[in-house]
């Protein structure tokens, strides 16, 4: 042992000196010690509440469609959590929305054989009024023109109409890439493209669009609309809103939709039974949840945490935007515990109705000009469960100085792989930070690693608790808490000077800063 230890020590020393002997290629120097940073990390790692909060929100409450009772339940839950942590919180009304409550969807194939099918109503879909409705399944035919469509239309009476194309494969592209022959992959992709184009043509020839077709079919007496919005990930379908006003619109998993489609195509006369419950609950008020830790030196300057609270309701909104929500909740809890007397006021906004057009945050910007005018910085997270790997200066000329300064306080392991872009561009309306950027206030997006967000979980039925990568979310809570702490402590107020935006290649004109957009204060009623 005695001989091994000095040898080991010498070896370790060598490793350490190698690691630090290679600047600028080695790791950046470690952040200087800061007791508050240490306390943030300790609390986040030794007393994490993320799993518990995630379970309560995603499993205990569930999806949070704007105007649904679950959205309201979530707002009340968030206020209760903040109150338990000693942080004053409130639900601020910003508008009104069509109220709708999802009930059961039971779908069975009853002919030519029996199988329970996997699917659900779209959001805001009408139900079957307490009954089980049985009918033949027909495919939207390929008409010569809209006159032929109109002639066929009366025949849909009492039938369920399939309005999505039949996917040629239920395997994700990854799977093809792993096992398929190159020629087979190319053939499949070409077939899929051709089918997609042909299907778009088929819809166009009816003289309708995917948006208007369902209403025409229901007015002709269809029993229901059946579709399948496959997201190119096994088992994953995107679930948006229904267009029908009287009969249900249901989305089926690719496997079951393909089964019905092929049976209908081969003349095997499939029939399905559908029981869909849902409830219209009138026009309901909609809210943002806002919580606050008052500043001691500059209480009228603000640092904000930001994440939308609403979701689509195919899954439980776990990564869109349950994870952004968890980051902000946890960062607030930690900050209150280890940094209870910030120099500037810390605010968090859990926005309602991002999914229908950033309405909650746009309304907040409109309703609180005094906060927007005195905003030191806002940090928004809304692209899934991954570690934050990108922060852009969002077009603010001096963002480089302050964001870089704040980031030096973050220990390397919590900013691994993090890239910054300065001055960056203000960007479009991708998420709620854009509402603030449009108003000229320094709002930043904490942009994360994808974990196949776009195909796997974004707006899909598979956006559930089990997809959360808690280590990454914990990383983000630590990063956010440190950035907020630094933005609060910074002796300087952040500059809002805008950079000159690059020439727009489409127009040849200099790029324009995005304009402030009005929120929709009353929606979902048309
Ligand atoms: Zn989102």
Residue 408 structure tokens: 């030096």
CA dihedral 254, 255, 257, 258 (to 10 degrees): 100
316 exposure class (CB count in 10 Å sphere: 0-12, 13-18, 19+): buried
- pTM confidence score: 0.93
User: What region does 408 belong to: left with phi over 0, alpha with psi -120 to 50, or beta?
Assistant: alpha
CA dist 436 and 426 (Å) reads 10
380 has pLDDT over 50: yes
222-274 residue pLDDT tens: 999 999 999 999 899 999 999 999 999 999 999 999 999 999 999 999 999 99
**308 Cα: distance to centroid of ligand 1 (angstroms):** 7
Ligand 1 centre from 223 Cα, in Å?
Answer: 33
Cα of 355 vs centre of ligand 1, distance in Å, is 7
Q: How far is the CA of 354 from the centre of ligand 1 (A)?
A: 7
502 pLDDT band, cuts 50/70/90, is confident
- Residue 349 makes CB contacts below 8 A (sequence gap 6+) with 288, 289, 290, 304, 305, 306, 307, 360, 361, 364, 432
| 263 CA to centre of ligand 1 in angstroms | 37
Strand 115-117 versus strand 133-139 pairing type: unpaired
Distance 382 CA to ligand 1 centre (A): 5
CA 239 to ligand 1 centroid distance, Å: 14
Helix, strand, coil percentages for the chain (3-state, nearest 5):
40, 25, 40
φ/ψ (deg, to 5) at 363: -65, -40
- The DSSP code sequence of 311-324 is --SSS--IIIIIHH
The alpha carbon of 132 and the centre of ligand 1 are apart by a number of angstroms equal to: 35
**CA 484 – CA 299 distance, rounded (Å):** 15
Q: Would you tell me the crossing angle of helices 323-338 and 470-489 to the nearest 10 degrees?
A: 50
pLDDT of 34 = 96
Q: Give tens-digit pLDDT for 297-348.
A: 999 999 999 999 999 999 999 999 999 999 999 999 999 999 999 999 999 9
Say whether pLDDT at 22 is over 70. no
Ligand 1 centroid–CA 264 distance in Å is 37
> Can you tell me whether residue 511 is helix, strand or coil?
coil
Ligand 1 centroid distance, CA of 431 (Å): 7
Q: Domains in the chain and their CATH numbers?
A: 29-98+283-489 (3.40.630.10), 113-269 (3.50.30)
């Amino acid at each position: 042992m005695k001989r091994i230890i000095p040898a080991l020590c010498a070896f370790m020393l060598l490793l350490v000196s190698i690691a630090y002997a290679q600047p600028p290629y080695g790791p950046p120097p470690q952040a200087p010690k800061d007791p508050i940073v240490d306390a943030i990390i300790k609390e986040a790692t030794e007393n994490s509440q993320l799993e518990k909060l995630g379970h309560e929100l995603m499993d205990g409450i569930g999806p949070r469609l704007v105007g649904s009772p679950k959205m309201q339940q979530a707002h009340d839950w968030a206020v209760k959590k903040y109150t338990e942590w000693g942080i004053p919180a409130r639900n601020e009304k910003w508008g009104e929305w069509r109220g709708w409550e999802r009930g059961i969807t039971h779908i069975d194939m009853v002919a030519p054989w029996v199988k329970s099918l996997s699917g659900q109503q779209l959001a805001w879909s009408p139900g079957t009024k307490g009954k089980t409705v049985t009918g033949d399944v027909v495919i939207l035919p390929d008409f010569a023109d809209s006159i032929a469509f109109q002639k066929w239309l009366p025949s849909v009476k009492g039938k369920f109409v399939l309005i999505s194309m039949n996917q040629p494969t239920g395997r994700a592209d990854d799977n093809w890439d792993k096992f398929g022959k190159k020629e087979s992959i190319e053939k499949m992709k070409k077939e899929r493209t051709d089918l997609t184009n042909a299907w778009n043509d088929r819809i166009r020839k009816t003289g309708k669009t995917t948006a208007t077709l369902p209403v025409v079919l229901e007015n002709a007496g269809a029993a229901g609309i059946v579709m399948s919005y496959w997201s190119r990930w096994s088992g994953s379908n995107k679930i948006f809103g229904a267009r029908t006003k009287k009969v249900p619109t249901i989305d089926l998993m690719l496997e079951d939709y393909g089964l019905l489609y092929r049976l209908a195509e081969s003349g095997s006369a499939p029939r399905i039974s559908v029981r869909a419950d849902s409830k219209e609950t009138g026009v309901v008020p909609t809210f943002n949840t806002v919580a606050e830790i008052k500043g001691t030196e500059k209480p009228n300057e603000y640092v904000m945490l930001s994440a939308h609270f609403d979701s689509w309701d195919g899954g439980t909104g776990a990564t869109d935007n349950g994870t952004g929500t968890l980051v902000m909740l946890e960062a607030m809890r930690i900050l209150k515990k280890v940094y209870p007397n910030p120099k500037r006021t810390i605010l968090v906004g859990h926005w309602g109705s991002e999914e229908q057009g950033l309405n909650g945050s746009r309304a907040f910007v409109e309703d609180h000009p005094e906060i927007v005018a005195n905003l030191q910085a806002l940090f928004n997270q809304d692209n899934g469960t991954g570690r934050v790997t990108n922060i852009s200066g969002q077009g603010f000329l001096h963002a480089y100085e302050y964001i870089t300064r704040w980031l030096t306080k973050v220990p390397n392991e919590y900013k691994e792989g993090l890239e910054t872009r300065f001055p960056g561009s203000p960007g479009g309306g991708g998420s709620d930070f854009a509402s603030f950027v449009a108003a000229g206030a320094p709002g930043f997006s904490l942009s994360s690693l994808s974990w196949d967000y776009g195909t796997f979980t974004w707006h899909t039925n598979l956006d559930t608790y089990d997809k959360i990568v808690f280590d990454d979310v914990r990383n983000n809570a630590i990063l956010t808490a440190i950035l907020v702490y630094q933005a609060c402590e910074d002796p300087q107020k952040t500059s809002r000077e805008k950079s000159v935006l690059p020439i727009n290649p489409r127009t040849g004109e200099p790029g324009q800063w995005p304009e402030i957009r009005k929120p929709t204060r009353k929606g979902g009623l048309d």
